[in-house]
């Protein structure tokens, strides 16, 4: 079945949105929400992470126009974001967008806490690249109010998302989430709940196989990416994309696909495992398949 595409430009704003996880994706989601007029509570496990996240949002907001985005007022964007340590900080939110690592045990604990502290009408949005939404819903007492949204990185610059209802997700939850996405300037492509959805069933296989080419000595990372840029017209090669997303995130996503489908085509490349163990996570660590300048 073909995905359904929706884009209503005048979606309603909600009064308070929680963003759980102040990593790369959480920072992008919080910025996107704030710059489109939403009040945000950004939540993580300690003050330093939250302070670094606000500094990143300020920097990205200042550079928005230079990077092809809208001109933004840094003070206005930051004024819409408050921070809190611990998931309890999202207790008063109307909708919560979760962006923690692609590890089921970690996610389950977050949802058990959110379920206990949030009001009964709060919608939980799962920002995941692979974990089935129905599985996440099973960790709560409100599976009808759990829905998946796979945001793409960098979040403020990407015009579309995958919108994934679980088996028990209600039409009202889908409507509320689609309205919020529209208010954020996002087109939503509705996808059935299937591990990896559309994007990562294809992308993770591509990145994993590209890593195997380097692992096996067939080509170096630059050559692999050059073929994709020059021959296929991709703006970024698969290994540049891995560094942008995070090599560790790529590995976790491939592992989830491998575990879920029990199919050898998803077997993770050993190089991804070694790089993750070595802390070579890509742009966020300063080195992955490529080396990056760090501030």
- The reply to whether 153 sits in an annotated binding site is yes
Is 10 assigned a ligand-binding role in the annotation? no
Closest CA to 24 of 259, 228, 250: 250
Q: Is 293 annotated as a binding residue?
A: no
Q: Is 194 a catalytic residue?
A: no
Q: Is 150 a catalytic residue?
A: yes
Q: What is the CATH number of domain 199-279?
A: 1.10.1040.50
Q: Given 64, 182, 200, 253, which residue is catalytic?
A: 200
Ordered by start, the domain boundaries in the chain are 4-190, 199-279
Q: Is 127 annotated as belonging to a binding site?
A: no
pTM: 0.84
Superfamily of domain 4-190: NAD(P)-binding Rossmann-like Domain (3.40.50.720)
Residue 147 among known ligand-binding residues:
no
**For the chain, which residues score pLDDT lower than 50?**
1-12
The residue assigned the tokens 């974001």 is 81
Give residues with Cβ within 8 angstroms of 36, minimum separation 6. Answer: 183, 184, 185
10 noted as active-site residue? no
Helix (H) or strand (E) holding 56, with range, is helix 47-62
- pLDDT for res 9: 38
Please tell me the distance from the alpha carbon of residue 167 to that of residue 183, in angstroms, as a whole number: 25
pLDDT at 6: 39
pLDDT at res. 259 = 93
The single residue of 98, 162, 240, 255 carrying the catalytic annotation is 162
Could you identify the residue written with the tokens 């080195």? 287
Alpha carbons 224 and 112: distance in angstroms, whole number: 42
Q: Of 32, 60, 99, 129, which one is the catalytic site residue?
A: 129
- CA 263: distance to chain centroid? 24
Nearest Cα neighbor of 60 from 99, 34, 41, 89 is: 34
For residue 293, count other CB atoms closer than 10 A to its CB.
Answer: 5
């Amino acid at each position: 079945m073909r995905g359904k595409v929706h884009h209503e430009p005048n979606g309603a704003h909600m009064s308070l949105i929680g963003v759980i996880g102040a990593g790369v994706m959480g920072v992008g989601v919080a910025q996107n929400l704030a710059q489109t007029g939403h009040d945000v509570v950004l939540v993580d496990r300690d003050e330093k992470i939250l302070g670094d996240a606000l500094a990143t949002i300020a920097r990205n907001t200042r550079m928005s126009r230079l990077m092809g985005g809208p001109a933004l007022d840094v003070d206005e964007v930051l004024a819409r974001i408050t921070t809190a340590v611990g998931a309890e900080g999202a207790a008063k939110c109307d909708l919560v967008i979760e962006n923690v690592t692609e590890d089921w045990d970690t996610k389950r604990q977050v949802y058990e806490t959110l379920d206990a502290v949030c009001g009964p009408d709060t919608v939980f949005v799962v920002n995941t690249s692979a974990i089935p939404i129905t599985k996440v819903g099973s960790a709560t007492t409100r599976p009808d109010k759990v829905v998946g949204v796979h945001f793409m990185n960098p979040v403020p610059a990407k015009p579309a998302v995958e919108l994934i209802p679980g088996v028990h997700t209600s039409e009202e939850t889908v409507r509320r989430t689609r309205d919020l996405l529209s208010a954020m300037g996002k087109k939503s492509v509705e996808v059935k709940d299937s591990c990896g959805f559309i994007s990562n069933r294809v992308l993770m296989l591509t990145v994993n196989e590209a890593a195997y080419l380097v692992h096996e000595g067939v080509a170096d990372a630059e050559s692999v990416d050059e073929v994709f840029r020059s021959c296929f017209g991709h703006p970024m090669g698969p290994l540049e994309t891995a560094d942008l997303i995070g090599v560790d995130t790529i590995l976790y996503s491939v592992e989830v696909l491998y575990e879920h489908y029990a199919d050898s085509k998803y077997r993770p490349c050993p190089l991804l495992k070694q790089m993750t163990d070595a802390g070579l996570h890509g742009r966020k660590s300063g080195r992955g398949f490529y080396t990056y300048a760090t501030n």
